[in-house]
Amino acid sequence: MEPSASLDRGVKEFLLKPRKHSPKVVEVSLELEEVLSDTTLSRRRRLQKGIALELQYLFRLAGPAVIVYLLNNVISMSSQIFCGHLGNLELAASSLGNNGIQLLTYGVMLGMGSAVETLCGQAYGANKHEMLGVYLQRSTILLTLTGIPFLTIYIFSKQILLLLGQSKRVSSAAALFTFGLIPQIFAYAANFPIQKFLQAQSIVNPSAYISAGALVVHLFLTWLALYVFHWGLLGAGLVLSLSWWIIVVAQFVYILVSDRCRETWTGFSTMAFSGLWGFFKLSVASAVMLCLEAWYYQIIMLIVGMLPDPEVALDSLSVCMTILSWVFMVSVGFNAAASVRVGNELGAGHPKSAALSVVIATATSLVIAILFAIFTLVFRHQLSYAFTPGKVVSDAVSDLAPYLAVAILLNGIQPVLSGVAVGCGWQTFVAYVNVGCYYIVGLPLGVVLGFKFNLGAKGVWSGMIGGTAMQTVILIWVAVRADWDKEVEKAKGRLDKWDDVKAQLCDE
């Protein structure tokens, strides 16, 4: 990592000044590692005490993180629900806008933002706090530049959907909703780096409060836009964009005024413009890993739109996908917690604690997924009425419920292991796994079952489940075989680059 030649003297003095360590992170890391390494205790007793400690740390992180992701998801999905109560066309249009066009940007931005999660998590565990703010700024710059080309996709969304085989009526309506989502592109560019910056420091409660407040405002404004001012799909999209900007501004204000971010945010730095190429490569690897997964679900929606009677097929699958995304947000909360715990422990040089964090996070998320799967099967006939009153859609959703339950179980494991991959910096390897499982196995299998064997949405989703199951098995195999001592050394190598920067500054 090369230091910027334009760094002023004040920046250099700050970077070279000794920092005091974070007592909370040091205490968390040392306590767990000491318990797991205590030879005066039996192996069983060490494991019992370690599990108890890890569960405390995990839920302290995962609980608020789950709330944040759920509330943010509800903000997006509530717009879809409001539109669905206007009619089946509006539900199909908002589904394509949300799960089609918008998900493309979401996947890229979230993926690139995950580079902050890897670097900030390991740097914070190693008490190199001064770099977190630089990583945040660097990521925001890259994501904002990345967002510019996506404007073209949003502007020509109708033509793109028509080329992909969607009906003219649905494509025109979806384009209106998508136009309103244009400001959301740059809200994502700022939100994900900020979110990962805070999570790396185990700061999750403020984001939960901000998301809760934004949801209340969003529901009120969406109701006004659709039922008072009758702004239709365009109004719904604009309100959704505004709500995401409210979250971004509120979180950044918190960073500026909070004492908890005093050591990690020290103002804007010219260092954010140095080392961009190396940061870009890690960001791209992160984006490819997560985008391939996000696009997988997006392509499934597009394929279903080509089936006979696409409105019913799209409505039923979009209801199932929305429910799956809600459950997925719980797993993503554990994904974030696992990433932070693994990243912090690797940065602190604690391989045993990192390994235990992987097991506990995955097992806990799976148990919760099992409960959700049972709930889905029990209430399969009532699920769709939260989105649309139509009985035709209700029957179609009920028919897909067993597939939804299986998908929920798989999503109880796979996102957590993806979080582990981010914490370890395995993004490039997982990207290759996603290509093989999703695009060489899952999608072709879904197309053959859906069209060749006339299984419709069931066949398409069966292929999707097959790809996800294969990916999950591979990630489990990699996590089980991981050498955590080597992972600690790799984390140290990444952080040593920062020490090289400091050494060069000293020479100057």
Q: What does residue 422 show for φ and ψ, rounded to 5 degrees?
A: -65, -45
Neighbours of 380 (CB within 10 A): 18
Rounded average pLDDT over 427-433: 83
d(CA 174, CA 396): 22
Which one-letter DSSP state was computed for residue 18?
A: -
Whether 19 shows a pLDDT value over 50: the answer reads no
The predicted-structure confidence for 152-209, as pLDDT tens digits, reads as follows 899 998 888 888 777 888 888 888 899 999 999 999 999 988 988 888 888 888 988 9
Of the two residues 214 and 89, the one the predictor is more confident about is: 214
Give the residue from 301, 340, 329, 278 showing the smallest Cα distance to 124.
340
How much is the pLDDT for 6?
39
Q: Can you tell me which residue has the tokens 């993180």?
A: 65
Question: Which two structure tokens, joined as six digits, stand for 436?
Answer: 């093989």
How much is the pLDDT for 349?
83
How much is the pLDDT for 504?
47
Compute, in degrees rounded to 10, the torsion defined by CA atoms 380, 382, 384, 386: -140
- Determine the straight-line distance between the first and last CA of the chain, rounded to whole angstroms: 16
Give the residue from 267, 286, 235 showing the smallest Cα distance to 90.
235
pTM (2 decimals)?
A: 0.72
Contacts of residues 276-283 at CB distance under 8 Å and 24 or more positions apart, as own/partner, are 276/138, 276/141, 276/142, 278/1, 279/115, 279/119, 279/135, 279/138, 279/139, 279/142, 280/142, 282/115, 282/118, 282/119, 282/425, 282/427, 283/111, 283/112, 283/113, 283/115, 283/139, 283/142
The predicted-structure confidence for 379-406, as pLDDT tens digits, reads as follows 888 888 877 777 888 888 888 889 999 9
How much is the pLDDT for 14?
35
Question: Which two structure tokens, joined as six digits, stand for 362?
Answer: 């995955």
Q: H or E segment at 354?
A: helix 351-378
Count the helix, strand and coil residues of the chain and give each as a percent rounded to the nearest 5.
85, 0, 15
Contact indicator for 39, 344 with CB cutoff of 8 Å: no
Whether 9 shows a pLDDT value over 50: the answer reads no
Nearest 5°: the CA angle 147, 152, 154 is 85
How much is the pLDDT for 15?
35
Question: Which two structure tokens, joined as six digits, stand for 301?
Answer: 């929606």
In this structure, of 63-72, 219-228, 487-496, the range with the lowest mean pLDDT score is 487-496
Confidence of residue 419 (pLDDT cuts 50, 70, 90): confident
d(CA 148, CA 401): 39
Residue type, 378: V
